[in-house]
């Protein structure tokens, strides 16, 4: 397989494809840009799709220009949004950026890597600079964008600030002299604006290179931390395995293709075998989950995660490595332990209200027996040695009062 074929593998659209081939023929490392706004704390498998493609360009000898959108994150990317996104403050963005950078480096190589923060060039811009940038694009062109058009037709507000976002992302391409920009298919409009703004600044326009969007474990919406349908690459292996086993059967081949090292032919073979019934979906899903986890945690961790899954979900037995904690002092009041308060004190629920919801929905067990009464109370000595379970994967054994 040629370098071009390897790089094009799995791509959704490359515009214009002939320009990518011409740029590769220049005989120099290309500057391949990927911008990610630090708006949450996990790198998800969805983000990993484009990060892995960035790594493929690095492996082919090109320079990865990873732009941490610490300025654009404060504005909010309107791509795919049906309403204006709340703004994040600078401190929150910087905290997210610090967490995410370490995770980015689990995928991209530190060789041939350039990390830039777009506050470097966007923050110092004067009003004159901003007006000059806005003069290069019309409102009519902005309203050609699908999500803006739908909101305009529905009478939903679109702030002028949101119109600025594609222009700021485009100016990033000017600032780093991008040859190729990567993004999900929802970023195509922004990537194409980058081509125009580069041309206006006398630069050779970048190639817009998009990768398919990955649906979350709900199988419906794009993987998103705000929707809770995500798998993070640094989550515990058993947590990842449990989540991946929940994806709809129709997404198994797509997860194999986009989230693992499987080739298009291998993923296609799995898809055919699932369709003709020669491969059971559960078996295929297990193979996919192991492959994903092995990428980020290693083969041994993937096998252990599957074994733990079987212990808890198939054999309905307790795992061997249940963490032990003393009965938290905060759980005892007037000599009595109220179950919701215990779950909060043990770190198994976020609040008393959350604990009551978990109990009422049947998600709480004591020594494998379900407890559905949110008013349940116990004496401290009754709880010595018992195993508390919340959901399918969270366990603690109480060893007695602290």
CB of 70 within 8 A of CB of 38?
yes
- Inter-helix orientation angle 264-276/252-259, to 10°: 170
- 311's enclosing H/E stretch is none
Supply the pLDDT for residue 308.
86
Q: What is the mean pLDDT of each run of 10 residues along the chain (402 residues)?
A: 83 95 94 92 94 96 95 73 63 88 93 95 94 85 79 82 88 97 94 94 96 94 89 93 92 95 91 91 94 96 91 68 84 88 89 89 83 87 82 80 60
CB of 179 within 8 A of CB of 23?
yes
- Which among 69, 50, 38 has a CA at the least distance from the CA of 172? 69
The two structure tokens encoding residue 230: 């995500």
Query: Model pTM?
Result: 0.75
Residue 89 CA to residue 1 CA, distance in Å, equals: 46
Residue 191 CA to residue 8 CA, distance in Å, equals: 17
List residues bridging with 64 in a β-sheet: 32, 113
Supply the pLDDT for residue 125.
94
* Domains of the chain from N-terminus onward: 3-211 (3.40.50.620), 237-314 (1.10.240.10), 324-401 (3.10.290.10)
CB of 142 within 8 A of CB of 152?
no
User: Maximum CA pair distance of the chain?
Assistant: 77
The two structure tokens encoding residue 17: 């494809």
Phi, psi of 74 (to 5 degrees): -75, -15
List residues bridging with 378 in a β-sheet: 337
């Amino acid at each position: 397989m040629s370098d071009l074929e390897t790089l094009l593998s799995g791509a959704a659209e490359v515009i214009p494809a002939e320009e990518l081939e011409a740029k590769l023929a220049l005989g120099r490392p290309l500057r391949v840009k990927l911008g990610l706004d630090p708006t949450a704390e996990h790198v998800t498998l969805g983000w990993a799709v484009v990060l892995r493609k960035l790594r493929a360009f690095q492996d082919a000898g090109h320079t990865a220009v990873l732009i941490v959108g610490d300025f654009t994150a404060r504005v909010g990317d309107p791509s795919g949004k049906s309403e204006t996104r709340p703004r994040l403050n600078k401190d929150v963005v910087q905290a997210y950026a610090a967490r995410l950078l370490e995770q980015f480096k689990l995928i991209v190589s530190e060789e041939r890597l350039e990390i830039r923060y777009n506050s470097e060039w966007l923050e110092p811009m004067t009003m004159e600079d901003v007006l000059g940038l806005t003069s290069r694009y019309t409102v009519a062109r902005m309203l050609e964008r699908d999500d803006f058009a739908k909101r305009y037709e529905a009478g939903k507000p679109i702030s002028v600030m949101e119109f600025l976002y594609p222009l700021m992302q485009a100016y990033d391409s000017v600032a780093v002299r991008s040859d190729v920009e990567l993004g999900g298919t929802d970023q195509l409009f922004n990537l194409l604006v980058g081509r125009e703004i580069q041309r206006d600044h006398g630069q050779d326009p970048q190639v817009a290179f998009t990768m398919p969007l990955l649906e979350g474990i709900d199988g419906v919406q794009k993987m998103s931390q705000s929707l809770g349908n995500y798998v993070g690459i640094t989550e515990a292996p058993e947590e990842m395995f449990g989540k991946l086993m929940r994806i709809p059967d129709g997404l198994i081949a797509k997860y194999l293709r986009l989230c693992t090292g499987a080739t298009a032919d291998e993923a296609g073979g799995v898809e055919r075998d699932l369709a003709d019934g020669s491969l059971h979906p559960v078996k295929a899903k297990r193979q996919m989950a192991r492959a994903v986890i092995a990428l980020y945690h290693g083969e041994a961790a993937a096998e252990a995660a599957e074994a733990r899954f079987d212990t808890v979900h198939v054999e309905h037995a307790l795992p061997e490595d249940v963490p032990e904690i003393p009965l938290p002092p905060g759980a005892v009041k007037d000599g009595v332990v109220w179950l919701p308060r215990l779950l909060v004190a043990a770190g198994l629920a976020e609040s008393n209200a959350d604990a009551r919801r978990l109990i009422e929905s049947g998600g709480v067990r004591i020594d494998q027996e379900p407890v559905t009464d949110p008013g349940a109370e116990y004496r401290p000595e009754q709880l010595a040695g018992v195993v508390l379970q919340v959901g399918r994967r969270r366990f603690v054994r109480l060893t007695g009062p602290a």
